[in-house]
Amino acid sequence: MQHPHPSVTSLEDFAVGPDGTRLFWERLGDGPPVMLCDGIACDGFIWKYLRPPLSAAHRVLHWNYRGHGRSGAPVDLHRVGIADHARDLFAVLDAAGVERATLVGHSMGTQVCLEAWRQRPDRVAGLVLMCGSYGRITRTFHGTDLLVHSLPKVIELIDRYPALVRTLWSVGPAELFVWVARMAGEVDTLRLRSEDLVPYFEHIATLDPAMFFRMLLEAGRHSAEDALPAVRAPTLVVAAERDTFTPVRYAEQMARQIPDAELLMVPGGSHTAPIEQPTLINQRVLDFLERRVDRTSP
């Protein structure tokens, strides 16, 4: 996280999830509340360039999912589904003294934001959904359903050889994974700075692989598609033209089905568009909040 300006207030604390799991959260700035929701296996790297300008006029909350970052491991390893994360989200809002906030989600965070709307629409002032889908992400990854068939086998392997898998999981150097992502065309090699992606792979190495793959399995089973036509919160959908993780057709579908939603297509962008083209995305997000949310919120 970049250091805030001395005049910008900041705070770090913990909330307690419904099952007793400790949830880390941080606050930067003052003003209308905005909550940042990461993708799976992320602990905030994607918000590097959005958080500073956003906190100049907003109270920006960022939190870690159970088992991620500085949050504790889930008390119950099987409670790692999207609905569990949404309930944790409200526990964090309660701890921060926030009744209603705009939810900004990246990747799997899109599902968490939509599920939060389904659970408590009265507490959602707006939605910004970036490079994500309404659900069933294991059926959309790279446009195939390969993960649907492979994940149960991976989880079975982890349960059988937990120590070996944990050792192998944590040994890979982050710089090597960044190079592989570039060579495979998973990111925008012209715009992405390698140092901006390294924290993602460093964080993955700290995760419990059994928890990670169960969380991915649950995310693949979840869908909020049926809730899209009922969304009444102002919504901005951000899609990246070359996103291989969540193809743009799913973002376009969300924008069509959510009433009065706006769509921003990032030309040439990949799944990490917020750190590839921050100027374009930041300006649109700030404009959207000012026009559609901040002026209308009580």
Q: Which structural domains are found in the chain, ordered by start?
A: 10-294 (3.40.50.1820)
Q: Confidence band (pLDDT; 50, 70, 90) for 267? A: very high
Q: Confidence band (pLDDT; 50, 70, 90) for 77? A: confident
Mean pLDDT of 63-71: 98
189 by DSSP, 3-state: which?
Answer: coil
Q: In which residue are the tokens 């692989």 written?
A: 209
* Residue burial 197-233, b: 16+ Cβ < 10 Å; e: rest: bbbbbebbeebbbbbbbbbbbbbbebbbeebbeebeb
How much of the chain exceeds pLDDT 90, in percent? 65
Q: In which residue are the tokens 């989200």 written?
A: 89
**Mean pLDDT rounded to a whole number for the chain:** 88
Residues 99 and 297 sit within 8 Å (Cβ to Cβ)? no
Q: Is the pLDDT of residue 177 over 90?
A: no
The Cα-based distances of 205 to 47, 134, 146, 167 in angstroms read 20, 27, 23, 10
Q: Confidence band (pLDDT; 50, 70, 90) for 146? A: low
What's the pLDDT at 184? 56
How much of the chain exceeds pLDDT 70, in percent? 83
User: Which of the residue ranges 63-72, 97-106, 190-199, 248-257 would you say has the lowest mean pLDDT?
Assistant: 190-199
What's the pLDDT at 168? 65
Q: Is the pLDDT of residue 58 over 80?
A: yes
Distance from C-alpha of 204 to C-alpha of 198, rounded to nearest angstrom: 10
Mean pLDDT of 156-182: 66
Which is higher by pLDDT, 206 or 91? Answer: 91
Mean pLDDT of 17-34: 97
Sheet holding 22-28, edge to edge: 10-16, 22-28, 59-63, 33-37, 101-106, 124-130, 235-240, 262-266
